[in-house]
């Protein structure tokens, strides 16, 4: 980090890397000299967006597509197995929640594409409200469903004879909704 000493006055203009910055001097130490630390970016914006496009736009999208196909296959399998077993209801809810989370990730990663990023159609607010927040909500739902399944498994070990009366199919459906 660079430290530059300037005399104290109300405001000071100086030239740093061809950029004029106006700084208001408010803080002084005991000797009457104010020190400023001017942060320098580690990487440029173009390099940042290139790295994000490669990691989010290509790699993450490929993994997300595989996850979406896997969850669609899981949904089909759980529906074909039927809901006679209570755990199938919970696992189907977990699969649907994870599928929605992956769709939100795919939408969020789309914003790092140069084609979408350079247009004025999508602002960062749209990105956060339509992709990031729903993803957070669905991941928390997935966590709660996982906790519910874990609770059922623990009760199954502790009270194996009462598990069918405690965790009925109707309670599973209500918990998933």
DSSP states along 18-38: TEEEEEE-----TTS-EEEE-
On whether both 33 and 50 belong to a single domain, the answer is no
Residue 27 has pLDDT above 70, yes or no: no
CB-based contact 103:75 (threshold 8 Å): no
On whether both 130 and 159 belong to a single domain, the answer is yes
Residue 64 has pLDDT above 60, yes or no: yes
Residue 147 has pLDDT above 90, yes or no: yes
Mean pLDDT score of the chain, rounded to an integer? 80
On whether both 112 and 64 belong to a single domain, the answer is yes
Which of 81, 74, 80 shows the shortest CA–CA distance to 97? 74
Q: What is the mean pLDDT of residues 121-145?
A: 88
On whether both 72 and 156 belong to a single domain, the answer is yes
Q: How is residue 12 written in tokens?
A: 């000071």
On whether both 154 and 76 belong to a single domain, the answer is yes
Q: What is the mean pLDDT of residues 16-45?
A: 61
On whether both 27 and 66 belong to a single domain, the answer is no
CB-based contact 16:41 (threshold 8 Å): no
**Cβ-based neighbours of 11, under 8 Å, separated by 6 or more:** 22, 23, 24, 25
Q: Which residues pair with 36 in a beta bridge?
A: 4
Which residues constitute the domain of residue 32?
Answer: 3-37
- For residues 80-104, one letter each, b for 16 or more C-beta atoms within 10 angstroms of the residue's C-beta and e for the rest, the string is eeeeeebebbbbbbbbbbbbbbbbb
pLDDT tens-digit map of 104-129 = 999 888 887 777 777 777 777 888 88
Per the structure, how many domains does the chain have?
A: 2
Residue 3 has pLDDT above 60, yes or no: no
pLDDT tens-digit map of 76-110 = 999 999 988 888 999 999 999 999 999 999 988 88
């Amino acid at each position: 980090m660079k430290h530059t000493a300037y005399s104290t006055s109300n405001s000071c203009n100086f030239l740093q890397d061809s950029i004029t910055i106006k700084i208001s001097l408010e803080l002084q130490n005991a000797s009457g000299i104010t020190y400023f630390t001017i942060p320098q970016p580690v990487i440029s914006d173009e390099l940042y967006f290139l790295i994000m496009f490669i990691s989010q736009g290509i790699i993450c999208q490929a993994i997300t597509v595989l996850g979406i196909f896997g969850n669609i296959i899981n949904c089909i399998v759980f529906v074909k197995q039927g809901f006679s077993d209570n755990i199938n209801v919970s696992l189907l809810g977990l699969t649907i929640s994870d599928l929605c989370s992956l769709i939100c990730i795919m939408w969020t990663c789309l914003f790092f594409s140069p084609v979408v990023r350079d247009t004025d159609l999508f602002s960062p607010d749209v990105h956060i409200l339509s992709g990031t927040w729903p993803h957070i909500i669905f991941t928390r739902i997935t966590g709660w469903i996982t906790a519910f399944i874990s609770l059922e498994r623990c009760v199954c070990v502790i009270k194996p004879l009462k598990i069918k009366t405690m965790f009925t199919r109707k309670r599973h459906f209500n918990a998933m909704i």
